[in-house]
Amino acid sequence: MVVAASNYAERVDPALRRAGRLDTEIKISLPNIKELGMSLRGQLDGELGGVDLSPTALRLVGGTGADCERAVRGARQRARHAAVRWKSAT
């Protein structure tokens, strides 16, 4: 079994895509707002349970699960830096 991935399936050589080779194609679309919200919730791993993530999911429309992960990682980093600045100010 051979599995291949490409963002540009139309550029793959037709000889590779003929019957018996890479002839089965599975297209995966980008997540919708609801799916992005679920991805964010999963990335948060139980944190911010009561917070509505719809505004953040809306900002990520057109993105992927990896974009959700990056957004959560960035938010955590900003929170850590803000906490350090707050502690040093007191």
d(CA 74, CA 90): 25
Give the residue extent of every domain in the chain: 30-89
Cα–Cα distances (Å) from 90 to 27, 49, 50, 82, 86, in that order, read: 53, 29, 29, 13, 7
Tens of pLDDT, residues 61-88: 999 999 999 999 999 999 999 887 776 6
Going by pLDDT thresholds of 50, 70 and 90, the confidence category of residue 2 is confident
pTM for this structure? 0.70
Residue 89: per-residue pLDDT: 66
Residue 90: per-residue pLDDT: 61
